[in-house]
Amino acid sequence: LAAVLRLYANPDALRHTLPTLRLLTRPRAEIHAAAQRLLPAVQRYLGDAALVEIADCQSQIGSGSLPVDRLPSAALHIVPASGTKRSGSDLERIAARLRALPVPVIARIHAGALWLDLRCLDNDADEAAFLRQLQ
């Protein structure tokens, strides 16, 4: 406990030493830049099954008594490429492919699309590991 409290003695370094605080304070522009780097690889992985775009989103940060707190973020917005006849089963097949990766990737299904919020993809090593498993 004392070690954690000592971290707060240097507030300028706090963001770098506490992973949760780092993720909560991550700027949307930084997350958007990660989406730009990842989009081509995700599109290649999904191939003709889906269309992948970058979209602004809101990361839900609360739970329990505060489930509505949100932070601005960026996501890979994935829709089935099955023409105008998109179905929930198309989305579920794409979601199942992502969950079947060596490190499962969980996306949110909302409004006829998969939303892969990138707020918690924390650093270059996380990005590299994510990209490796798409190959």
Q: Which helix (H) or strand (E) holds 9?
A: none
Kindly state the DSSP code that residue 47 receives in the 8-state scheme.
Answer: G
Give the separation between CA 64 and CA 60, rounded to whole angstroms.
12
- 86: confidence class by pLDDT, cuts 50, 70, 90: low
Q: Is the pLDDT of residue 116 over 80?
A: yes
In 2-131, DSSP assigns E strands to 50-60, 70-80, 108-110, 113-117
Give residue 21's pLDDT: 80
- 69: confidence class by pLDDT, cuts 50, 70, 90: confident
Dihedral over Cα of 85, 86, 92, 94: its sign: positive
Supply the mean pLDDT for the chain: 87
Cβ atoms within 10 A of the Cβ of 114, count? 24
Edge-to-edge strands, sheet with 50-60 = 50-60, 70-80, 113-117, 108-110
